[in-house]
Chain A
Amino acid sequence: MLLFTLRRLLQSLFVLLAVSVVVFFAVYAVGDPIELLVSPEATMEARQATIARLGLDQPVWRQYLAFLWRALQGDLGNSFVHGVPAIGLILQRLPATFELVLVAITLSCVVGIPLGLVAGLYRDRVLGRGIMAGSVLGFSLPNFWQGMMLILLFAVWLGWLPASGRGQTVDVLGVPLSILTADGWSHIVMPAINLALANIALVLRLTATGVAEAQTQEYVKFARAKGVRPGRIVRRHILRNILVPVVTVVGMEFGSLIAYSTITETVFAWPGMGKLLIDSVYQLDRPVVVAYVMLATFIFVVVNFVVDVLYAALDPRVQLVSPAH
């Protein structure tokens, strides 16, 4: 276990390094940020001064090495656009995204798994078919369209919920959280639903498929022949086995949503990290983009690690490190 962790750690450092290189050069390839920042009214002198200060007069590989050197000392650079440390900008917005994603994922599991179970167990009946057909709606439409429709319905026509923004926050250990206030909940409901819809469909279908497949397995037929009650079969036998792919996907989705719930955050003006990323990419604010993607990769690495450990716990046939053939 310890060896596994250490090896993973080492590999992940390599991944982080690779990510930083690729993103750095990718943003460089898109265009020159100076054109977006400096007003044409600035003198040549002032323009050159800014270019030199941001290090943009150096050849790109030298810029990267300078960045790497500072990064190893813990400084991921200052935003070109805001002038303050990039990592600070990102971390300031992390709590908002985190709580949004948490609510969305919880919703996905709480709604998706039970519905998927029903759909899988009754797959040849109208109920099962109906649920599966309904799940298509969850991922058929683009996210931003769904969001806009939700706003139109609940905020404008019915007036039940606020149209955008984050609600009142309460400081917990210095971290502002909005899910502890009623106002916060009224603001988080719609964006969370918007984020969750596609995931509910995914979890639902995965669970349903898993249940359907498990039902044809011998151990289920055997248990049924033995006379075990259906509820117990579902809980003790089927559920455990189908959870592996579900856990994989939920894990992936968690990481992916933390990093990239950009559209929902844009539509609902949710002050999270995703919006910051989009803006920074558009402004060619390289330090923020690089810091962001490195953070996102770090999150994925951690999530994948946790998921792999859970696999081994849930399915005894799976080993943490598969030996080579």
Chain B
Amino acid sequence: MDRSTPDSHARTVAPLAETPRRAAILKRLRARPTVAGSACALVLLMAAILAAPLFAPQNPYDLANLNLLDGRLPPGSESMDGWVYLLGTDDQGRDMLSAILYGLRISLAVGLTAVALATAIGSVAGLVAAYAGGWIDTVLMRIVDFILGFPTILVALVLLAVMGRGVDKVILALVLVQWANYARIMRSRALQERRKEYIEAAANLGYPAWRIIAFHLLPNCMGPVLVFATIQIATAIALEATLSFLGVGVPVTEPSLGLLIATGFQYLLSGDYWISMFPGIALLLLILAINVVGDRLREALDPRRA
């Protein structure tokens, strides 16, 4: 859309629903096979993850299924019951393939939920701070300073001590510490955009503040935040892995990919590479898929690529 004439200003200012913008986006998505392809791959991956209980040869979270004497067997070994451990076993006798399938689900849940929540909270905070200015901006930004200075490990540890262990506590810890990053990025971008004419025009037209923020400011500021968010999914998952590495993450009997990698890395030097390597590859593929789709989606949603 060309913005050099007053007519087109009015058009850019109108909210999403009233223009064929959504249709335009979908059309663009359909026109690019790689986007569709990546989206399909991601959907398939997620379906596989959710359906893991059906695929997996073993439920690795049920202690009665495990056999210590089957521990640390290399890929392709036979179990005491006759079936084959395709990717080997870990130190407790857990089938690596099953553990990875179950672990993918937890890692994905943690990553997506934490990032979604943090993005939502952080974006709102950043937009409001930038648009409102004044003391609201100051207070919010000082809170952001506070959060950024706070060690994630301490938050996780306190939650662990006070609320016990669990995947939800890990997500909570990640969100509590991460939202401030999004706020800061969103605010810096929004500060730039706020000064532009189309925002002023909208304000002059009498649109209420929340509408301006939601439909005009937000779409144009999404860029850097989305870039950051897609990277942060991986970071969130890696952060969860680190927390598990430090012993304050998910419970040991329900390992995420991160915990599998963390536990497995102790065995790297002694040659039992499969305990750490396969979960690592699974994690890499997961992140890759998310990022590729994220990249494409972001390009498609960029309002300036008309």
A and B touch in the complex (CB under 8 A): yes
Give residues in A with beta carbon < 8 Å to B.
7, 11-12, 14-15, 18-19, 22-23, 26-27, 29-31, 132-133, 136-137, 139-145, 148, 152, 198, 201-202, 205-206, 209-210, 213, 216-218, 244-245, 248-249, 252, 255-256, 259-260, 262-263, 277-278, 281, 289, 293, 296-301, 304, 311, 315, 317-318, 321-325
Q: Are B145 and A300 in contact (CB under 8 A)?
A: yes
Give residues in B with beta carbon < 8 Å to A.
3-4, 130-138, 141-142, 145-146, 148-155, 157-158, 161-162, 181, 184-185, 188-189, 191-192, 194-195, 209, 223-224, 227-228, 231, 234-235, 238, 241-242, 245-246, 258, 261-262, 265, 268-269, 276, 280, 283-284, 287-288, 291-292, 295, 298, 302, 304-305
Q: Are B224 and A260 in contact (CB under 8 A)?
A: no
Q: Are B148 and A136 in contact (CB under 8 A)?
A: no
Residues of B within 8 A of A249 (CB): 185, 228
Q: Are A142 and B148 in contact (CB under 8 A)?
A: no
Residues of A within 8 A of B135 (CB): 324
Q: Are A201 and B280 in contact (CB under 8 A)?
A: no
Output the nearest chain A residue to B298 by Cβ-Cβ distance: A209
Q: Are A259 and B151 in contact (CB under 8 A)?
A: yes
Residues of A within 8 A of B162 (CB): 29
- Tally of A-B Cβ pairs under 8 angstroms: 175
Tell me the complex Cα distance, A222–B228, Å: 30
Residues of A within 8 A of B141 (CB): 304
From A30, A201, A299, A311, give the contact of B157 (CB < 8 A): A30
Not counting A27-B154, A29-B162, A202-B228, a sample of 13 additional A-B residue pairs whose C-beta atoms are within 8 angstroms of each other reads: A12-B145, A15-B149, A18-B146, A23-B150, A30-B158, A137-B284, A140-B238, A140-B284, A144-B245, A145-B276, A255-B148, A262-B153, A318-B191
Nearest-neighbour CB distance to chain A for B32, whole angstroms, equals: 12
Tell me the complex Cα distance, A186–B28, Å: 51
Output the nearest chain A residue to B187 by Cβ-Cβ distance: A248
Q: Which 9 A-B pairs have the closest CB atoms?
A: A324-B134, A297-B149, A322-B133, A140-B287, A317-B195, A142-B241, A142-B238, A30-B161, A300-B149
Tell me the complex Cα distance, A158–B130, Å: 52
Residues of A within 8 A of B242 (CB): 142-144, 263
